[in-house]
Protein backbone atom coordinates (compact mmCIF):
# COMPACT_ATOMS: atom_id res chain seq x y z
CA UNK A 1 0.00 0.00 0.00
CA UNK A 2 1.34 3.43 -0.89
CA UNK A 3 2.37 5.59 2.03
CA UNK A 4 0.28 8.56 0.89
CA UNK A 5 -2.81 6.35 0.73
CA UNK A 6 -2.32 5.47 4.38
CA UNK A 7 -1.96 9.18 5.15
CA UNK A 8 -5.22 9.89 3.34
CA UNK A 9 -7.01 7.16 5.29
CA UNK A 10 -5.65 8.45 8.60
CA UNK A 11 -6.73 11.96 7.68
CA UNK A 12 -10.24 10.77 6.86
CA UNK A 13 -10.14 11.30 3.09
CA UNK A 14 -11.11 8.41 0.87
CA UNK A 15 -9.90 9.05 -2.67
CA UNK A 16 -10.99 5.75 -4.25
CA UNK A 17 -12.27 2.30 -3.35
CA UNK A 18 -8.97 0.44 -3.67
CA UNK A 19 -5.92 1.20 -1.54
CA UNK A 20 -3.28 0.41 -4.14
CA UNK A 21 -4.46 0.43 -7.69
CA UNK A 22 -7.47 2.27 -8.98
CA UNK A 23 -10.91 3.67 -8.35
CA UNK A 24 -14.14 2.33 -9.80
CA UNK A 25 -13.56 4.54 -12.84
CA UNK A 26 -10.19 2.87 -13.48
CA UNK A 27 -8.25 6.03 -12.61
CA UNK A 28 -5.25 5.75 -10.28
CA UNK A 29 -5.90 6.65 -6.66
CA UNK A 30 -5.00 10.31 -6.18
CA UNK A 31 -5.28 12.86 -3.44
CA UNK A 32 -8.28 15.00 -4.35
CA UNK A 33 -8.71 18.69 -5.08
CA UNK A 34 -10.45 20.90 -2.51
CA UNK A 35 -9.67 18.58 0.41
CA UNK A 36 -9.13 19.31 4.10
CA UNK A 37 -5.75 17.70 4.79
CA UNK A 38 -4.50 19.93 7.59
CA UNK A 39 -1.60 18.38 9.49
CA UNK A 40 -1.40 15.24 7.32
CA UNK A 41 1.91 13.40 7.03
CA UNK A 42 3.06 12.69 3.46
CA UNK A 43 6.77 12.53 4.33
CA UNK A 44 8.76 10.44 1.87
CA UNK A 45 5.70 9.66 -0.27
CA UNK A 46 5.72 9.55 -4.07
CA UNK A 47 2.98 12.00 -5.04
CA UNK A 48 4.05 12.54 -8.64
CA UNK A 49 1.32 14.46 -10.47
CA UNK A 50 -0.94 14.69 -7.41
CA UNK A 51 -3.74 17.27 -7.45
CA UNK A 52 -4.12 19.34 -4.28
CA UNK A 53 -5.73 22.37 -5.94
CA UNK A 54 -7.76 24.51 -3.48
CA UNK A 55 -6.92 22.12 -0.61
CA UNK A 56 -6.12 23.14 2.96
CA UNK A 57 -2.79 21.56 3.86
CA UNK A 58 -1.89 23.84 6.75
CA UNK A 59 0.94 22.25 8.76
CA UNK A 60 1.16 19.20 6.47
CA UNK A 61 4.44 17.28 6.32
CA UNK A 62 5.83 16.70 2.81
CA UNK A 63 9.47 16.35 3.90
CA UNK A 64 11.42 14.21 1.43
CA UNK A 65 8.31 13.62 -0.69
CA UNK A 66 8.38 13.34 -4.49
CA UNK A 67 5.93 15.93 -5.83
CA UNK A 68 7.10 16.10 -9.44
CA UNK A 69 4.59 18.12 -11.51
CA UNK A 70 2.04 18.16 -8.69
CA UNK A 71 -0.69 20.79 -8.63
CA UNK A 72 -1.01 22.95 -5.50
CA UNK A 73 -2.71 25.89 -7.25
CA UNK A 74 -4.49 28.12 -4.70
CA UNK A 75 -3.79 25.62 -1.90
CA UNK A 76 -3.33 26.71 1.70
CA UNK A 77 0.12 25.47 2.73
CA UNK A 78 0.85 27.68 5.74
CA UNK A 79 3.60 26.27 7.94
CA UNK A 80 3.84 23.13 5.76
CA UNK A 81 7.15 21.22 5.74
CA UNK A 82 8.59 20.61 2.27
CA UNK A 83 12.19 20.19 3.46
CA UNK A 84 14.13 18.04 1.01
CA UNK A 85 11.04 17.51 -1.16
CA UNK A 86 11.20 17.24 -4.97
CA UNK A 87 8.77 19.82 -6.38
CA UNK A 88 10.34 19.95 -9.84
CA UNK A 89 7.85 21.41 -12.31
CA UNK A 90 5.11 21.73 -9.67
CA UNK A 91 2.36 24.34 -9.90
CA UNK A 92 2.07 26.45 -6.76
CA UNK A 93 0.40 29.44 -8.41
CA UNK A 94 -1.52 31.61 -5.93
CA UNK A 95 -0.65 29.17 -3.11
CA UNK A 96 -0.41 30.40 0.49
CA UNK A 97 3.02 29.23 1.68
CA UNK A 98 3.43 31.67 4.57
CA UNK A 99 5.94 30.26 7.05
CA UNK A 100 6.50 27.09 5.00
CA UNK A 101 9.79 25.19 5.25
CA UNK A 102 11.21 24.59 1.77
CA UNK A 103 14.81 24.18 2.89
CA UNK A 104 16.76 21.88 0.61
CA UNK A 105 13.74 21.41 -1.65
CA UNK A 106 14.07 21.04 -5.43
CA UNK A 107 11.78 23.62 -7.04
CA UNK A 108 13.52 23.61 -10.41
CA UNK A 109 11.10 24.89 -13.03
CA UNK A 110 8.23 25.21 -10.55
CA UNK A 111 5.62 27.96 -10.93
CA UNK A 112 4.87 30.15 -7.94
CA UNK A 113 3.07 32.99 -9.73
CA UNK A 114 1.52 35.32 -7.16
CA UNK A 115 2.20 32.80 -4.38
CA UNK A 116 2.60 34.11 -0.84
CA UNK A 117 5.94 32.94 0.58
CA UNK A 118 6.17 35.52 3.36
CA UNK A 119 8.53 34.24 6.07
CA UNK A 120 9.13 30.97 4.19
CA UNK A 121 12.47 29.18 4.53
CA UNK A 122 14.10 28.43 1.15
CA UNK A 123 17.61 27.84 2.54
CA UNK A 124 19.71 25.67 0.19
CA UNK A 125 16.72 25.16 -2.16
CA UNK A 126 17.20 24.55 -5.89
CA UNK A 127 15.29 27.43 -7.50
CA UNK A 128 16.73 27.14 -11.01
CA UNK A 129 14.27 28.52 -13.56
CA UNK A 130 11.58 28.83 -10.90
CA UNK A 131 8.92 31.44 -11.63
CA UNK A 132 8.20 33.82 -8.72
CA UNK A 133 6.37 36.40 -10.88
CA UNK A 134 4.44 38.78 -8.58
CA UNK A 135 5.08 36.51 -5.58
CA UNK A 136 5.05 37.87 -2.02
CA UNK A 137 8.48 37.21 -0.53
CA UNK A 138 8.70 39.52 2.49
CA UNK A 139 10.82 37.85 5.15
CA UNK A 140 11.58 34.79 2.99
CA UNK A 141 15.04 33.27 3.57
CA UNK A 142 17.07 32.40 0.45
CA UNK A 143 20.46 31.64 2.06
CA UNK A 144 22.49 29.21 -0.06
CA UNK A 145 19.70 28.71 -2.61
CA UNK A 146 20.47 28.26 -6.32
CA UNK A 147 18.52 31.03 -8.09
CA UNK A 148 20.08 30.76 -11.55
CA UNK A 149 17.44 31.65 -14.14
CA UNK A 150 14.73 32.26 -11.53
CA UNK A 151 12.16 34.94 -12.40
CA UNK A 152 11.53 37.44 -9.61
CA UNK A 153 9.85 40.02 -11.86
CA UNK A 154 7.36 42.15 -9.91
CA UNK A 155 7.93 40.06 -6.77
CA UNK A 156 7.32 41.95 -3.52
CA UNK A 157 9.91 41.88 -0.75
CA UNK A 158 12.65 40.02 -2.64
CA UNK A 159 16.17 41.03 -1.63
CA UNK A 160 18.89 39.31 -3.71
Q: The CATH number of the domain where 49 resides is what?
A: 2.160.20.80
Instruction: Read off the pLDDT of each residue in 95-120 and give the average, rounded to a whole number.
Output: 98
How high is the pLDDT of residue 75?
97
Per-residue pLDDT of 50-61, as tens digits, reads 999 999 999 999
Q: Is residue 86 situated within a structural domain? A: yes
Dist CA 27 CA 65 (whole Å) = 22
Query: What per-residue confidence (pLDDT) applies to 24?
Result: 41
Query: Is 66 part of a structural domain of the chain?
Result: yes
Full-prediction pTM beyond 0.75?
yes
pLDDT score, position 36: 87
Within-domain flag for 109: yes
Whether 5 maps to a domain, the answer reads no
Q: Could you give the number of structural domains in the chain?
A: 1
- Domain range for 143 is 33-160
**Does the residue 82 lie in any domain?**
yes
Amino acid sequence: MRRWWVALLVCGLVACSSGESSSESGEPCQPANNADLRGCNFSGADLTGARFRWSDLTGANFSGAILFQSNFREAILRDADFSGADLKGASLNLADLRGANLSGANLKGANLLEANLSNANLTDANLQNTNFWRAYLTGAIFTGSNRVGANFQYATGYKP
